[in-house]
A and B are shown apart, each in its own frame.
Chain A
């Protein structure tokens, strides 16, 4: 009887371990994807902001440079 209980516990732990790894690894992958996307978005927005700043400065300069 006690052997069966031990085997059952071992199997339960094994199943839990696998389920835990599958759940969290998929979560990590998803989080990483979100992180990468946000990082890319941040870089794009930073670049966009830089371009807008330059456009604004070029439009409102009083001693303007025509080409940049």
Chain B
């Protein structure tokens, strides 16, 4: 056996030593790579495996009707999704199982199932809603992924739905509450472990909001309005009913003939109209309250049309009523008489009352989308004359009812509102004596006009009808009109104030023949509800 020379032995040991050094260096490099370069990523990964961050969804608040009945509720549901790489089961057999629970699943999700066949599409989510019980039934099928979701349910279906959705947006922060978070250490199967390292920020549930909307009154108003659209062959119609003393809105219904109408649009506040003759009692009350005329006023020039410059002011039926008293002027809806009354009052006083009646500002109701029309800066003689019978300026229906309600509320203007928490601001506009005087005139006008036959003898009503032509391209036309009827009942301590407007009725253009019958039909039924 040949003897190993010392040089060979020393070179072997050197090789081993170098190999050990190299291994050491290699380990150092690897450690540097894992601990320094990849360190943060791995730490994050470890933390995410160890800790679990969970969102705690708060319970959303509900909108409650005046009788505390929920008008909106939350419900929990699950949606199904597939991640194709994880989904090894035959699709048709899965569909068969699902259709035992949800027979319309394939029809509802036809488009999504088409997407499933696209190889590029890895993730598909279906629209069908599943309950917890459904999930338990389907739990035996591997690869199904269910996601918890929350939906909104409106128990009263389309009853004031546009108002409810609009209010939910208005009060979104209050209703939604605040999401909570739970950061906890999890065990091997993902269950939360109770340790001191856990951190929790509690969720804050949304608040319930109690509305002044009366479900029964709303349903009554909605059904009568819907029926009236067909009866009068109109484009649309609206009604608002309020409590005169508190300013609470009891019902606000609109019927749009066009199905394309936006669900959240509320024409009663977003659409402007020239009020027409329903404005006359307010002009008269302003003139009496300011002392421009007294209650014994007689229109001596009402025996003929009034000519202002190139314009002629005439009555709706082209009849003239010489020596009209205030009662006659309202009963006959006399434009000529009103134009002389406003002349006595003058522009400055008129605009002062216009402002005090808040017809130049938003009502501030808790709904988004309220429109107002800016008042013109220059008023000619004819502008002032036409304003006396509600033409030449535009208001929304809520503004008009808020202003007219001062006559129902002893001369006090209350802000209209939909939520019970909100307290009304109250301002005096007319003195009590003037209001008593005007209400007597309104009652007389109702009792002595053709609308009297629409009401039962025991129903006491103070109201006024109006017909306003709609300006198209800067000119008034007879083909496009807004018929309206506004008033309250009974005349003393009224239970409700109500405005009805009907847009472009084809059967008759007069508010007394279209809006008034709707008003009285609702009023007769309200007697049993309020």
Question: Which residues on A are within 8 Å of B, measured CB to CB?
Answer: 28, 31-32, 35-36, 39, 47, 50, 53-54, 57-58, 60-65, 68
Is B193 a contact of A57 with CB atoms below 8 Å? no
Q: Does any Cβ of A come within 8 Å of B369's Cβ? A: no
Q: Does any Cβ of A come within 8 Å of B171's Cβ? A: no
Q: How large is the interface on B (under 10, 10 to 19, 20 to 34, 35 or more residues)?
A: 20 to 34
Q: In whole angstroms, what is the CA distance A64 to B219 when docked?
A: 11
Is B158 a contact of A54 with CB atoms below 8 Å? no
Chain B, residues 188-232, CB within 8 Å of chain A (1/0): the string is 000111100000000000000000000110010000000000000
Q: In whole angstroms, what is the CA distance A5 to B314 when docked?
A: 122
Residues of B close to A31: CB separation below 8 A: 194
Q: Given that A32-B191, A35-B194 are contacting pairs, would A63 and B73 also be in contact in the complex, using a CB cutoff of 8 Å?
A: no
Residues of B close to A53: CB separation below 8 A: 70, 73
What's the minimum C-beta distance from A51 to chain B, rounded to whole angstroms? 8
Residue ID in chain B nearest A58 by CB atoms: B155
Q: Does any Cβ of A come within 8 Å of B75's Cβ? A: yes
Q: Does any Cβ of A come within 8 Å of B69's Cβ? A: yes
Q: Given that A28-B194, A36-B191, A47-B132 are contacting pairs, would A61 and B74 also be in contact in the complex, using a CB cutoff of 8 Å?
A: no
Residues of A close to B192: CB separation below 8 A: 32, 35-36, 39
What's the minimum C-beta distance from B177 to chain A, rounded to whole angstroms? 15
State which residues 111-161 of B face A: CB under 8 Å. 132, 153, 155-159
Residues of A close to B194: CB separation below 8 A: 28, 31-32, 35
Among A53, A57, A58, the one with the most B-chain Cβ atoms within 10 Å of its Cβ is: A57
Q: In whole angstroms, what is the CA distance A58 to B73 when docked?
A: 11
Among A60, A63, A65, the one with the most B-chain Cβ atoms within 10 Å of its Cβ is: A63
Residues of A close to B215: CB separation below 8 A: 62-63
What's the minimum C-beta distance from B248 to chain A, rounded to whole angstroms? 19
Given contacts A32-B191, A58-B155, 5 further A-B contacts (CB under 8 A): A53-B73, A62-B215, A62-B216, A63-B159, A65-B157
Residue ID in chain A nearest B71 by CB atoms: A57
Residues of A close to B155: CB separation below 8 A: 54, 57-58, 60-61, 65
Residues of A close to B159: CB separation below 8 A: 62-63
Q: In whole angstroms, what is the CA distance A31 to B198 when docked?
A: 15
Is B74 a contact of A50 with CB atoms below 8 Å? yes
19 pairs from A and B in contact (CB 8 Å cutoff)? A32-B187, A32-B193, A32-B194, A35-B192, A39-B192, A47-B132, A50-B73, A53-B73, A54-B75, A54-B153, A58-B155, A60-B155, A61-B155, A62-B156, A62-B159, A62-B219, A63-B157, A63-B215, A68-B153
What's the minimum C-beta distance from A24 to chain B, rounded to whole angstroms? 12
Q: In whole angstroms, what is the CA distance A41 to B98 when docked?
A: 27
Q: In whole angstroms, what is the CA distance A52 to B452 when docked?
A: 49
Residues of A close to B219: CB separation below 8 A: 62-63
What's the minimum C-beta distance from B42 to chain A, rounded to whole angstroms? 27
Q: Does any Cβ of A come within 8 Å of B76's Cβ? A: yes
State which residues 63-105 of B face A: CB under 8 Å. 69-70, 73-76
Q: In whole angstroms, what is the CA distance A63 to B154 when docked?
A: 10
Residues of B close to A62: CB separation below 8 A: 156, 159, 215-216, 219
Q: Which 9 A-B pairs have the closest CB atoms?
A: A57-B155, A63-B159, A61-B155, A63-B156, A65-B157, A63-B157, A61-B156, A57-B70, A62-B219
